[in-house]
Structure 1
Amino acid sequence: MNIILLALIAANIVVSFKGFNDLAFFRKYEFHIGSIRAGEQIRMITSGFLHADIMHLAFNMLTLYFFAPTVIAEFGGTTFLLIYLASLVFGSLLTLVMHKDDYSYRAIGASGAVTGILYSAILINPDRELFLFFIPIPITGYIFGIIYLLYSIYGMKTKNDNIGHAAHFGGAVGGYVITILKQPEMLTENTFTVIVLAIPIVILFVMDKLGKL
């Protein structure tokens, strides 16, 4: 396993377990609009290493583990880390913009960063087939990406957890844009995938503009 990938997974596990067992630590570093607007911008990064529970952590880390090697093989470890961190920041920024007037809004999770890696990997290899335990047949990468973000829209609408669903979209934008900037030929060589992966992002912004979220 690549050392950078290993370090990111280890950091998420260590910080998350610290948060599981230390509520004061969790509250100090989670994404919280009121605290961020009061000057604690560090939460926009630290919240990306906290998780709601072991299942939330495991899902994000397994997704990262399966998709990161594609990005690392294509771009190298440094660009992989750039996409991961940029997607984390993009996710936090979008969340801040969408919830800027809700001072009590809280969220945690590596979802933004992981979604950026997911989107990058799918753009690189859109025809990769995945087997998910709840679906008995393989699905292609770009379909998984669409399902993942549509689930995020559902999570944002229901608001029944404090997982950073809005961050999924910011992360997706980060991974999407950086990958295409690194390989602009994708616009002509993988036009279908580029368009299809943009659809959930467009749906989100349309729903936000219409006040449906």
Structure 2
Amino acid sequence: MDNLNPVTIIIIAANVIISYRGFGDFSFFEKYKFNIGGIQRGEKIRMFSSGFLHADTQHLLFNMLSLYFFADVVINILNPLQFIIIYVGSLILGNLLSYYFHKNEYSYSAVGASGAVSGIIYSAILLQPGMKLMFFFIPIAIPAYLFGIGYLLYSIYGMKNKIGNIGHDAHFGGAVGGYLITLFLAPWLFQTNILMIGLLALPIVLLFVLKKMGKI
């Protein structure tokens, strides 16, 4: 991890330490996970702390690997402070969207850095849309912007059909956070990447249209 920025190392370390504390301490895990009932009782810290807890080692590893691959794109084009702003803002916005969709489900709970990591991924795609991504199940490299659009469309599908034990709404909200905060921090993108800004906005608009129509 010598080539990683110290900020990325600190965030990964915080996730590992806090997640492993949660693995071995049920009361700690329950106190700081995202939970609608707890938040409605005034425990707002859960909106932040839940982003550093994970369900198991596999969940933690997947999120930290995803962060590892995309963090430097954002840090190198912007700067470490702006990276932190995007990470934390995406975490919070992901949980806010999750709260919005589940506010009447008192027992709904979730954990994970997925919202924050989704924000970093979407920020990296916005900053460098032409980069190519490879996946184990796809034999060819695909443009990052196609992955970003597909990722959010799948998140909408997952939200609509409640697929798996996955917080699709937090993923989506985090990606929206990464999109909006990056545009705020890097307004020059409106001169250089206006087409990509429009393309990457399409799934976001679609979600809110579907929500307004009562389809989600």
**TM-fit CA distance, 1:143:** 1.3
Shift of 1:161: 4.4
Q: In the aligned structure 2, how far is the partner of 1:15 from the partner of 1:160?
A: 27
Q: 1:17 to 1:169 in 2, by over 3 A?
A: same
CA deviation after TM superposition for structure 1 residue 26, in Å: 1.8
Q: 1:107 matched to which residue of 2?
A: 110
Using the size of structure 2 for normalisation, the TM-score is 0.92
Within 2, Cα distance between the matches of 1:153 and 1:159? 10
Given the alignment, which residue of 175, 179, 203 partners 2:178? 175
Aligned partner letter, 1:82: I
Shift of 1:164: 2.5
Aligned counterparts of 1:111 and 1:161: Cα–Cα separation in 2: 15
Residue 213 of structure 2 corresponds to 210
Deviations 1:176-205 (A, max 9, x none): 112112222322321221111111112221
Indicate the larger mover: 103-112 or 14-23.
Answer: 14-23
Partner of 1:192: 195
2:107 counterpart letter in structure 1: S
What is the CA-CA distance between 1:56 and the residue it aligns to? 2.1
- Once the two structures are superposed, the pairs formed by residues 11-160 of structure 1 within 5 Å of their partners are 11-160=14-163
TM-fit CA distance, 1:212: 2.3
In angstroms, what is the RMSD of aligned CA positions? 1.6
The answer on whether the counterparts of 1:109 and 1:163 sit within 8 Å (CA) in structure 2 is no
Once the two structures are TM-superposed, the CA of residue 49 in structure 1 deviates from its matched residue by 1.0
TM-score of the pair, normalised by structure 1: 0.93
**In structure 2, how many angstroms separate the alpha carbons of the residues matched to 1:17 and 1:167?**
22
Residues 14 and 158 of structure 1: is their aligned pair in 2 closer, same or farther, counting only changes over 3 Å? farther
Higher mean displacement: 142-151 or 7-16:
142-151
Task: Output one character per residue of 1:122-159: Cα deviation in whole Å (capped at 9) or x when no partner.
Answer: 11110000111111100111111122222322332343
> Segments of 4+ in structure 1 off by > 6 A?
none
Letter in 1 for 2:212: K
The share of aligned pairs that are identical, in percent, is: 57
> Does the Cα contact within 8 Å between 2:156 and 2:168 map onto a contact in 1?
yes
How many corresponding residue pairs?
A: 213
| Aligned-partner SS, 1:131 | strand
What amino acid maps onto 1:4 in structure 2? V
For residues 57 and 213 of structure 2, the distance between their equivalents in structure 1, rounded to whole angstroms, comes to 35
| Aligned partner letter, 1:173 | V
